[in-house]
Amino acid sequence: MTHPIFFDPTGRRARRTFAIALAVIAVVVAALVALGVAFTTSRDHAPIRFAEDARRPVAIAATVPIVERGAWQPVANASADRGPREVFAFYMPWDAPSRRALRDRLGEIDWVVPGLATIAGPGRAMTYEADPAMHAIVAQGAKRPHILPMVQNAASDGHWDGAGTAKLLADPAARRRLADALVDMVSQERGRGVVLDLENLPRSAHVDYRRFLAELRPRFAQHGWMVALAVPVADPDWDLAAYAAVVDRVFVMAY
């Protein structure tokens, strides 16, 4: 081989290569300058905002409506004997945390209030289902709490059948059938009474509800049983003084 492969005696290749290199350098420098200008002239974008961001915090009302201050409550009797403190534990058989809590706190509980029955649905006959697991837990305690079954008017789809319950309470024959079913349930549970949790009642139903309670209470008293009631908070349709006159205990659902 006489000459190296890349040998260029004329020098033209070197000049062309140098010119191309200068062009490439110029393009790179121009691109960097443009990029620097873009960075220095760009404006900060406003933060992303959602519709909820436009809402201002709502201040706490300076005055509380009278219904919230307790006008719905009966007048307290300062001289009344409140008796010893008792713990009532509301328990739902289908709820695993409820079952665990019953097992863990059994020694602190005086009364268990299990939701065992409903009166919603077609015909509004009471549906009652025993819970052997609850009885097994209670039997393990050194101090066994009393059983106070609870009846609710919650339908299978989760709504409270207030309108249907009102129709039941307005029917004397239906009230007698319900009272019979309650006596049977408490007997089977070896309970000490019942808690009625009938919600979303129309205003017109309250007179019939109190009439039913006045009919039920003497029947339960024959067995030494309690008639208890769960009532809502701050609902003027519920005359708590009138209800307290026809039951043994009222639970105010302040939660």
Hey, what domains does the chain have and what are their CATH numbers? Answer: 66-252 (3.20.20.80)
Q: How high is the pLDDT of residue 234?
A: 86
Residue 48: predicted pLDDT: 39
CA distances to 73, 75, 165, 177 from 232, rounded to whole Å, are 11, 17, 16, 26
The pLDDT of residue 126 = 95
Residue ranges with strand state E in the chain: 88-91, 111-118, 127-128, 146-147, 150-152, 193-197, 226-231, 249-252
Q: Can you name the residues that pair with 47 across neighbouring β-strands?
A: none
Q: What is the C-alpha separation between 148 and 194, in angstroms, rounded?
A: 5
CA angle, 109 as apex, 105 and 112 as ends, to 5°?
Answer: 105
Look up residue 23 and give its two tokens.
Answer: 């062009």
Half-sphere exposure of 138 (CA within 13 A, CB side): 21
What tens-digit pLDDT sequence spans the chain (255 residues)?
444 444 444 555 455 555 555 555 655 555 554 555 444 444 444 443 434 444 444 444 444 444 555 555 666 565 556 678 899 999 999 999 999 999 999 999 999 999 999 998 777 889 999 999 999 999 998 889 999 999 999 988 889 999 999 999 999 999 999 999 999 999 999 999 999 999 999 999 999 999 999 999 999 999 999 999 999 988 999 999 999 999 999 999 986
CA distance 188 to 210: 25
User: Distance of CA 186 to CAs 4, 106, 145, 192, Å?
Assistant: 112, 21, 15, 7
